[in-house]
Structure formats: C-alpha cells, structure tokens
C-alpha cells in the first residue's frame, strides 16, 4: 500500500466513529498543549527573572562575610564568619576607583509600633546608596540622609504595605514610630511595587546603617552591595577588595563575592531545570493519551476482525495490516498535535494579552519534544493492538471468532 492509500483507507474509519475520533484527538491535543504551555510559563518565569536583574541596571557585586566557595548559589545560611565584616571595612574600600556606589546592609527583624499597632518587620540598615542600587523609588517623603553611615539618625523609610498597616490612610511622613528600644521618625514611604528578587519590598523598613548597628546591637554586616562604575571591572574590584580586607583582617581572606552574572546564571540553570521538570510532568498526560490510543486501537481491531481477515485473504501481509492500525493512530496523533499546538499558542497569546509584563514564550525544544513524545506514544501504544491484528487468523477472523 502506498501512503495515500493508507490515508484513503483510514479516513472513512474516522468518519464512521466521529465521537471516538474527536475524543482521542482531544486527549492528545491536551497533552501536547499542556507540555508546551507549562514549559512556556517556565520559560516566561526565567525571562522574567532575567528582566528583573537587568532592570537593576549596571553591574552589581555583592560581598558576603565569611569564606565560602560559591558559584553564585544562595548566601550562607549559618555563619562561618571568622571575623565580622564591618562599616569600617566598607569605609576602607569605598574609595576604590571602579566602585560607583556602595551600600552596606545590616538586616534583622524588629517590632515596629505606632500608637497601639505593631508589626514584626524585616528592617534593613543601609545608606542612601541602597535606593538607586536596588531601584527603590519613594512614593512620598525622602530617602535616608547622607550621614547614615557615620552616625545614628532616628529616621525610617517604610514599605508601602507596612505604612498602610500601621497608619491606614493617614499620612505617615513626620510621625514617630517605635522600633525595639528606639524611636524613629518616618521620613519616607516606598512606592507601591511588586516583589523584587523574592524580597517583598512592601513589607520592609529601611533605617540608617548606624542606627541598625545600635538597634540589633551588632556591627556585623549582612552583606555589602556594590555598583561598579564600569562593566567588566568585577575581577579587578574583587581583587582590590580582597587585598584591603585581608590587611584589615589579620591576613585572613574571609569574605565571599557574588556577582550579578553568577546569580543570573544560577537562576537560569535552576529555572531551566524547573521548566524541564514541569514539562516532564505535563508529558504524563501524553502517556494517558497513549493508553487511550491503545484502548481505542484494541476496540478498532476487535470491531474490524472481518476486514482484517479479508485483507489477509486478499493478499495483505501481516506488516501491511500492522501499518494500517499504527498509521491510524499516528494520523490521530498528528491531528492532536496540530490542535494541541494551536491551543498552546493561543493560550500563550492570551497570557500575553492578559498579563503583558510576563514574558511568556514557547521554547523550540519544548514544542519539539512535546510532538516527538506524542508520536512515540502513538506508535508505542498502538503497536501491541496492531501486532495482535497482524497475527489474526484470517479464516477465524472472517467468521468473527477471536
């Protein structure tokens, strides 16, 4: 039989069993669609993170206290710090020519109280440089004063959510709040904004770094964020900083660096893995579709025993009979894949329209693997029933016996 003959021989079969054909096509379409759609969401998330990073602007370098071999993974959870990184260390390095801005950070949680309302809040001690570096904008009021790194100034900038929870709709700027044992005057409120790098900035408070030293009763810096004045100067800057810090820490090289690039590539590889895993999970629906194909092919073989016996009596080989049934399964797989792709791409267009900020995108490898998987399932699961058909005894089959 030639290819066009298989087509003409099988299409009337589908026309005779329209509900069955449609349901099977739908099952395959859903499988293909879910693989493409879910991996596209994963890819979108990856691009979203990439965008977030690049929106931070210039090259960032982060210094963490403690020595840790790192390729840009998460910062150390428990301290291996031999010696604290302090504000004095930061002052010693801030004159390096390649450093544009430098923001030391001390972080902790503090109970912030206004009148009878209080909230446990992540409080970050820093300098005014943190605002441009983390791309923070003020909804009202002003940022931290310039002398944040030299002296305790009792001022605080609140995240928008905290402000709302403590003050409601009333104006916060100029009011005094209590944080731990100290009183701070609210000088600014951050602009309403989504999450940034997994940190909900609406739920934070920022105070001068010296004040944080007092509040948390420790000079140890959580980290130092540096914005470089020119790109590709990371290695040079890192080397200079290591040298200066080592001199100040009795010769010990006890700090670690994380660059924006290394974080980005770490996120990238994590997201790719997540996307692939999500795709693989979605591919389970293709296996389910495959089982359906097997079931329907078995039914078809049983219903067409006469026909199979006849074809063999007319000189069809077992191979030809097998090809007819596998071919029918693959035809349905093709239809299902095309419909699934159309569904997936319209789904992607819908997400684009509904959520324009999210850079959802279909990846070619996901589309190809979805379709290849569908075809493997189609061939694999129709194989058994087709082989059964090819082995039917023509005489018994024509008489309707098994």
Partner 1 sequence: MILLKDVCKTYELGETPLKALDHVNLSINPGDYLSVMGPSGSGKSTLLNMIGLLDRPDSGELYINDIATHSLIEEERAKLRQNNIGFIFQSFHLIPRLTALENVEVPLMLSKTPKHERREQSMKILEQLGISSRADHLPKQLSGGQLQRVAIARALLMKPSILLADEPTGNLDSRSGSEVIELLEKFNQEGITLMMVTHDVQLGSRAPRKLQIIDGKLSEVEKHHAFS
Binding site for partner 1 (CB under 8 A): 1-2, 4-5, 9, 12-13, 15-16, 306-307, 309-320, 393-395, 398
Question: Minimum distance between the CB of residue 385 and partner 1, rounded to whole angstroms?
Answer: 19
Q: Are strands 138-141 and 182-190 parallel, antiparallel or unpaired?
A: antiparallel
Q: What is the largest CA-CA distance in the chain?
A: 100
Question: Minimum distance between the CB of residue 328 and partner 1, rounded to whole angstroms?
Answer: 13
**Residue 316 in 3-state DSSP?**
coil
For partner 1, the closer of residues 183 and 391 by Cβ is: 391
190 Cβ contact list (under 8 Å, min separation 6): 136, 137, 138, 139, 157, 158, 159, 160, 201, 202, 204, 206
Contact of 154 with 211, CB cutoff 8 Å: yes
Question: Minimum distance between the CB of residue 313 and partner 1, rounded to whole angstroms?
Answer: 5
Question: Minimum distance between the CB of residue 21 and partner 1, rounded to whole angstroms?
Answer: 13
Question: Minimum distance between the CB of residue 305 and partner 1, rounded to whole angstroms?
Answer: 11
Q: What is the full DSSP assignment across 10-29?
A: HHHHHHHTHHHHHHHHHHHH
For residue 148, give both structure tokens: 């944040």
350: enclosing H helix or E strand: helix 318-354
Question: Minimum distance between the CB of residue 270 and partner 1, rounded to whole angstroms?
Answer: 54
For partner 1, the closer of residues 43 and 307 by Cβ is: 307
For partner 1, the closer of residues 324 and 370 by Cβ is: 324
For partner 1, the closer of residues 246 and 310 by Cβ is: 310
For partner 1, the closer of residues 56 and 310 by Cβ is: 310
Q: Which residues pair with 124 in a beta bridge?
A: 107, 206
For partner 1, the closer of residues 196 and 320 by Cβ is: 320
Question: Minimum distance between the CB of residue 378 and partner 1, rounded to whole angstroms?
Answer: 22
Question: Cα–Cα distances in Å, from 352 out to 35, 197, 242, 315, 368?
Answer: 18, 22, 46, 56, 22
Instruction: Give the helix ranges, DSSP H, for 56-110.
Output: 87-93
CA distance 189 to 200: 14
Nearest Cα neighbor of 41 from 269, 276, 270 is 276
Question: Cα–Cα distances in Å, from 395 out to 197, 304, 312?
Answer: 71, 13, 9
For partner 1, the closer of residues 65 and 309 by Cβ is: 309
For partner 1, the closer of residues 1 and 274 by Cβ is: 1
For partner 1, the closer of residues 239 and 317 by Cβ is: 317
Question: Minimum distance between the CB of residue 286 and partner 1, rounded to whole angstroms?
Answer: 30
Question: Minimum distance between the CB of residue 395 and partner 1, rounded to whole angstroms?
Answer: 5
CA distance 391 to 321: 9
Contact of 65 with 254, CB cutoff 8 Å: yes
CA distance 136 to 133: 8
Question: Minimum distance between the CB of residue 46 and partner 1, rounded to whole angstroms?
Answer: 50
For partner 1, the closer of residues 12 and 198 by Cβ is: 12
């Amino acid at each position: 039989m030639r290819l066009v003959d298989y087509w003409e021989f099988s299409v009337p079969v589908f026309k005779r069993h329209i509900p069955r054909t449609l349901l099977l096509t739908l099952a395959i379409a859903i499988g293909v669609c879910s693989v493409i759609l879910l991996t596209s969401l994963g890819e979108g998330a990856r691009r979203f993170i990439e965008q977030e990073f690049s929106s931070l602007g210039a090259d960032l370098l982060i210094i963490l206290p403690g020595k840790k071999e790192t390729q840009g993974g998460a910062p150390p959870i428990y301290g291996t710090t031999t010696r604290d990184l302090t504000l004095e260390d930061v002052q010693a390095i801030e004159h390096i020519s390649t450093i544009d801005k430098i923001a030391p950070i001390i972080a902790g949680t503090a109970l912030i109280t206004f009148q009878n309302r209080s909230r446990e809040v992540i409080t970050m001690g820093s300098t005014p440089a943190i605002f441009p570096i983390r791309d923070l904008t003020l909804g009202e009021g002003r940022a931290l004063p310039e002398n944040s790194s030299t002296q305790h100034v009792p001022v605080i900038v609140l995240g928008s959510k905290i402000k709302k929870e403590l003050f409601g709709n009333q104006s916060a700027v100029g009011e005094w709040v209590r944080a731990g044992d100290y009183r701070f005057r609210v000088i600014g409120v951050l602009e309403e904004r989504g999450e940034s790098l997994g940190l909900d900035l609406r739920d934070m408070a920022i105070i001068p770094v010296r004040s944080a030293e007092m509040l948390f009763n420790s000079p140890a810096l959580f980290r130092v964020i540096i914005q470089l004045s020119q790109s590709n100067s990371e290695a040079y800057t890192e080397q200079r900083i290591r040298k200066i810090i080592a001199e100040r820490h009795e010769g010990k090289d006890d700090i670690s660096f994380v660059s924006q690039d290394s974080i980005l590539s770490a996120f990238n590889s994590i997201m790719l893995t997540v996307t692939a895993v999500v795709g693989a999970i979605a591919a389970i629906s293709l296996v389910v579709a495959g089982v359906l194909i097997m079931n329907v092919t078995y039914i078809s073989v049983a219903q067409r025993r006469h026909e199979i016996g006849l074809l063999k009596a007319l000189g069809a080989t077992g191979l030809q009979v097998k090809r007819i049934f596998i071919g029918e399964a693959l035809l349905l797989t093709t239809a299902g894949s095309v419909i699934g792709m159309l569904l997936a791409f319209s789904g992607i267009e819908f997400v684009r329209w509904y959520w324009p900020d999210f850079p959802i995108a279909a990846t070619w490898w996901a589309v190809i693997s979805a379709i290849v998987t569908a075809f493997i399932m189609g061939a694999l699961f129709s194989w058994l029933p087709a082989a059964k058909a090819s082995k039917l005894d023509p005489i018994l089959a024509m008489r309707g016996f098994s």
